[in-house]
Chains A and B, each alone.
Chain A
Amino acid sequence: MALELSYQDRGSVIHRLDPRVKLLWWLSINITLTTWNDPLFLFLLLASVFAYGRIARIPVWQGVKQLLPILPFVIFVLLANIAFWRPVHAETAHFIGYVIPRGTPVLPPVPLYWETVVFSVGTMLRLLVLVESTLVLIKTVSPAEMALAVARMGVPPEIGMALSMTIAYIPVVVAQLVSVMEAQQSRAWKVKTSNPIARFRAYTTIAIPTFFRSFQAAEAMAAAMLSRGFGYDIDHRTELEPRRFSGQDWVLTALFAAFLVGGFLLGFFGIVQYTLTMRLLGFH
């Protein structure tokens, strides 16, 4: 499982791209994401991420499977939005009913609008796009490549190291998590409970040792990278297979940059807003 979350050279056209182009792809997706909340467009964006992953020879089923562990969190975000997000003009919004009816002791009434449902689905999709695009980036850019790319963009080597360590670190944390889960399972720990509070408490049981061990691992990994000359002289680092910014890199850079600017502006000027899907659903 840990290896599935790490870089694997699948020899695809994406793998051969300059790492800066891949980083730009990720930025274009995720910066755009901050301004969009329309579920339809976000769904298309998610589909484009899967398509990009497919070109990188990452099977779609693998991408879907790796989203499953965060599903409880995604559902939590969805429900939290449904419970707390209200349209600005509630008086003209499309009322469905009450999630918590009027007159419930202690709790205030929670109305539910179609706008809330559509917006909440959009928020959920944002989260899925963020996670899936990050996983695809991790699987297509090696940690060392990433550090180098960032350093060559003028970013201090320390930041490059932090970024590359984060990527290199994911399989290590997953491996720690697996061994911690095995240790707790050996003491009758189980997470399969319908009570969400019990489930949350069950997860804290694995979170504490995983955090503790991961902290130790991060310290050791940083020391190992420095002990092998990371950041010694970025400008004169040897590249065994020197990579030039190819025509393909330039074309994709232009494409992703255009998407970044266009997507951001579409969102910024309120075009890719949840109201679009509302209109398509027949709510005016």
Chain B
Amino acid sequence: MPVEEQACALAYEGFGFTYEQGTSEVVRDLSLQLSQGRVVLITGPSGAGKTTVCRAANGLIPHEFKGSMRGRVTVAGRYDSRRYSVSALSKLVGLLQQDPDTQLFNPTVEEEIAFGACNYGLPAETIRKRIERLLELTRLSEHRRKNPHQLSGGQQQACALAAILAFDPQTLILDEPTSNIDPLGSQEVLTLVARLAREEGRATLLIEHKLDEIVHLVDEMLVMDRGQVLHRGSVREVLEHVEYIDSVGLSVPQVTLLAARLRSAGWPLPRLPLDVSEAVTLLEPFIDGPALASLPVPASTCAVGSGSDSAGGASPSAETVIEVSGLSHVYRDGTSALYDLDLQIRCGEFVAILGQNGSGKTTLVKHFNGLLKPTSGTVRVAGLDTARASINEMATTVGFIFQNPDTQICKLKVYDELAFGLRNLGLPEKQVRERVQQAAEDLEIVHLLDKNPFLLSMGEKQRIAVAAVLAMQPSVLVLDEPTTGQDYKRAKEIMDLAVRLHATGQTVVVITHDMNLAAEYCQRVVVMANGRVLLDAPTRQAFQAREALQASSLRSPQVTQLGQQLGAPWAWLTVDEALAALRAVRKGAGNGA
């Protein structure tokens, strides 16, 4: 192999790109070199240009996504991406895109993995050996004959990754490879990617939002926003700017942010920690152990934000709004998803439903508005039996906000989109007008009412989708994975909306993989595993139950783990809570630092 190939697997030189229909560059003047065995992380909010960088790596830009490209992208030191086809460049640069569902098109997992390797004409025996190894690595051996679309989201992502690794590209580009996976599953995939990069000398470019899980796995980190690199360097160097990165709406390791705030408050910390154990080592000398152990337990069972005793939150009443009794569900293909499940949710509660991929969360909530009917057992919402209630009754009782607003938006004018459900209910036009206006005001989208929703940004579409559901004034609001595929800022925006609604007395149920958001916003946590409820407790109590969380491939937020390891008597749920507690127990600080 020529020397330059070894030195630089992929190089961007002054790369910039404007999409054909766009007016400005989505990436500006990017220069980056990936060498073999190194893992580079790019993070940034939506619209930062991360996916464009990925597409340019194997020639999808400029060959498939048309537009104006500046600068140069060179593969293996000599192949200019403008002059080689996507399939030729992909032999050297494997690209895993975001949504695994659209990347799986073969009838079995085995054939899916073999597809690329066969296209590149690798010897059959080599391919067979690689398939076996990758099936084992990704734990898909027992699913080898299944249709990939029958796999869970996490398994689909693992399958798509194996399909790329099968033809052994020198460079691997992974665009949010863990967006659909639960926390422990994410950790496994990312660790595998980093291990393969080191062991097999593969250059790896990773796009990720979940920094918690990745800080020790990458060699270089770039933070992008609006097409430009804001910070770059080692993870430690970049995270020195953690407060700024947090302010642009990115998810940062909680312990790093906490330490940065303590340092701003005058704590002489020599460096910022990257993980919980480092944070324990750094902070322990400053903490008065007995004072920490005797910190009074807060009255609130949840964090500030939605708490029953917080200013913005509403107190749940004694009245049960959702009552699930002995619910079992078997899908038409024979898959059992829920087993004899019981659950009660009270009026005005803010509940998180957590669980690993395939644990039955979505199946459960789809029973709340009658999208699914119980195989056995009953589901009653606001007194209505969901198996018998009409579509109109269920639509006015339960508002369901789907993960992707594009699933919902069906009208060419925002006003009509908001009025859609109300007209379906047969409300008089005057009432429709009033409710649309009210919902638009609540969501601050009055200025968009005459616009075409398909031409708006993803964030605006999300608000429209929420407003359209709110206009129907449901008493229960269900949010299905509002954080998946979103950056932290947008996820928080959606959750803040939910908090505002909750403050008006609405019952809110959220399905999420994001432990930080669940800890920050929810009063109660229901953890599911294998179609059953594994844990059902107030948030603070639930995040102390390490074993139950682990059994469901979940883990508590970093600050909760930190508190536990430092000896705090109760679970810290947010950085602010941890900050307040630590400042109160700083050695020799009296009443806080």
Chain A residues in the interface with B (C-beta under 8 A): 1-3, 6-9, 142-144, 164-165, 168, 171-172, 175-176, 179-180, 182-190, 205-206, 208-209, 212-213, 216-217, 220-233, 236-240
* Chain B min CB distance to A84 (Å): 32
Bound-complex Cα distance A185 to B468 (A): 13
Contact indicator B86/A209 (Cβ below 8 Å): no
| Interchain residue pairs with CB less than 8 A apart (16) | A3-B149, A143-B106, A175-B101, A183-B402, A184-B410, A185-B391, A188-B391, A188-B395, A190-B424, A205-B420, A209-B407, A220-B102, A225-B105, A229-B90, A230-B87, A233-B119
| Contact in complex: B424, A187 (CB < 8 Å) | yes
Question: Would you call B400 an interface residue if the criterion is a C-beta within 8 Å of the partner chain's C-beta atoms?
Answer: yes
A173–B437 CA distance with the chains assembled, in angstroms = 34
B77-96 to A contact mask, C-beta < 8 Å, 1/0: 00000000111101100110
Q: A9-B108, A225-B105 are in contact. Are A213 and B118 (CB under 8 A)?
A: no
A243 shortest CB reach to chain B, Å: 13
Query: For residue A232, which residue of chain B has the nearest CB?
Result: B87
Contact B420–A187 (Cβ < 8 Å):
yes
B410: contacting residue among A179, A182, A205, A239, CB under 8 A = A205
Chain A residues lying within 8 Å of B121, measured Cβ to Cβ, are: 232-233, 236-238
Given contacts A6-B149, A8-B147, contact A188 B107 (CB under 8 A): no
How near does chain A come to B124, taking the closest CB pair, in angstroms? 5
Interface residues of B in 402-416 (CB under 8 A from A): 402, 404, 406-412
Q: Let me know if A168 and B105 touch, CB within 8 A.
A: yes
Whether A182 pairs with B371 at a CB distance below 8 angstroms is: yes
Contact, CB under 8 Å: B115 / A227: no
**Most B Cβ at <10 Å: residue of A143, A222, A240:** A240
A175 touches B149 (CB 8 A): yes
Q: Which residues in A have their C-beta under 8 angstroms from that of B107? A: 6-9, 142-143
B100 nearest in chain A by CB position: A224
In the bound complex, how far is the Cα of B55 from the Cα of A165, in angstroms?
20
Residue B120, interface by CB 8 Å: yes
| B124 and A240 contacting across the interface, CB-CB below 8 Å | yes
Report the bound CA distance from A205 to B402 in whole Å. 16
- Supposing A144-B115, A238-B122, A239-B118 touch, asked if A227 and B58 sit within 8 A by C-beta, the answer is yes
B384-406 contacts to A, CB under 8 A, are 391-392, 394-396, 398-400, 402, 404, 406
Contact B149 A227 (CB under 8 A): no
**Chain B residues in 8 Å Cβ range of A232:** 85, 87-88, 90-91, 119-121
B86 CB contact (under 8 Å) in A221, A226, A240: A226
A209-B410, A237-B118, A237-B119 known; A227 vs B102 contact (CB < 8 Å): no
B396 and A186: CB pair below 8 A? Answer: no
> Which residue of chain B has its CB nearest to the CB of A206?
B410
Does B511 make an interface contact (CB < 8 A)?
A: no
Smallest CB–CB gap between B407 and chain A, Å?
5
Nearest to B131 among chain A residues (CB) is A240
6 smallest A-B Cβ distances: which pairs? A229-B119, A187-B421, A228-B116, A168-B105, A188-B395, A188-B424
A3 touches B333 (CB 8 A): yes
CB pair B119–A187 under 8 Å, yes or no, is no
Chain A residues closer than 8 Å to B432, beta-carbon distance: none
Q: Which residues of A contact B371 (CB under 8 A)?
A: 182, 185-186
Query: When A175-B101, A189-B424 are in contact, do A229 and B395 touch as well, CB less than 8 Å?
Result: no
The residues of A that contact B90 with a CB separation of less than 8 Å are 226-229, 232
Asked if B102 and A180 make an inter-chain contact with CB atoms under 8 angstroms apart, the answer reads no
Q: Does B128 contact A (CB under 8 A)?
A: yes
Please indicate the chain B residues that have their CB under 8 angstroms from the CB of A216 in the complex.
Answer: 406
**What DSSP secondary structure best describes chain A's contact surface?**
helix
Residues of A within 8 A of B410 (CB): 180, 184, 205-206, 208-209
- Which residues does chain A contribute within 8 Å of B86, judged by CB atoms? 223, 226-227
CB contact list, B459-493 vs A, under 8 A: 468-469, 472
A220 to B90 alpha-carbon distance, docked (Å): 15
Q: How far is the CB of A190 from chain B (nearest CB, A)?
A: 5
Known contacts: A144-B105, A186-B400. The answer to whether A240 contacts B391 by CB under 8 A is no
Residues of B within 8 A of A6 (CB): 107, 147, 149
- Bound together, the chains give a CA A236 to CA B119 distance in angstroms of 8
Is B87's CB under 8 angstroms from A183's CB? no
A9 to B106, CA, bound (A): 11
Q: In the complex, what distance in Å separates the CA atom of A233 from the CA atom of B122? A: 11
* Least distance between A218 CB and chain B CB atoms (Å): 8
Q: How far is the CA of A188 from the CA of B422 in the complex (A)?
A: 8
CB-CB < 8 A to B115: which residues of A?
144, 228
Interchain CA distance A3-B108 in the complex, whole Å = 12
C-alpha gap A236/B392 in the complex (Å): 58
**Hey, which chain B residues are within 8 Å of A238, CB to CB?**
117-118, 121-124, 127
A1 to B396 Cα, complex, angstroms:
28
A144 with B111: CB separation less than 8 A? yes
- With a 10 A CB-CB cut-off, give which of A225, A237, A239 has the most chain B CB atoms: A225
Query: Within 8 Å CB of B42, what residues of A?
Result: none
CA distance A89 to B102 in the complex (A): 54
User: Taking CB as reference atom, which chain B residue is nearest A165?
Assistant: B105
Residue B454 CB within 8 A of the other chain: yes
Complex alpha-carbon distance, A185 and B454, angstroms: 20
Is B114 positioned at the interface, with any CB of A under 8 Å from its CB? yes
The CA of A237 and the CA of B424, in the complex, are separated in Å by: 54
The answer for the CA separation of A190 and B407 in the assembled complex, in Å, is 16
Given contacts A213-B407, A221-B105, A228-B119, whether A3 and B147 have CB atoms under 8 Å apart is yes
B window 545-566: CB within 8 A of A: none
Interface residue? B521 (CB, 8 A): no
**From residue A9, how far is it (CB to closest CB) to chain B in Å?**
6
Q: Which residues of B contact A229 (CB under 8 A)?
A: 87, 90-91, 116, 119-120, 167
Complex-state Cα separation, A179 to B362, whole angstroms: 12
Residues of A within 8 Å of B64, CB to CB, are: 222-223, 226
Whether, in the assembled complex, B164 has its beta carbon less than 8 Å from a beta carbon of chain A, the answer is: yes
Closest-CB distance, B416 to chain A (whole angstroms): 11
Q: Which residues of A are found within 8 Å of B523, using beta-carbon distances?
A: none
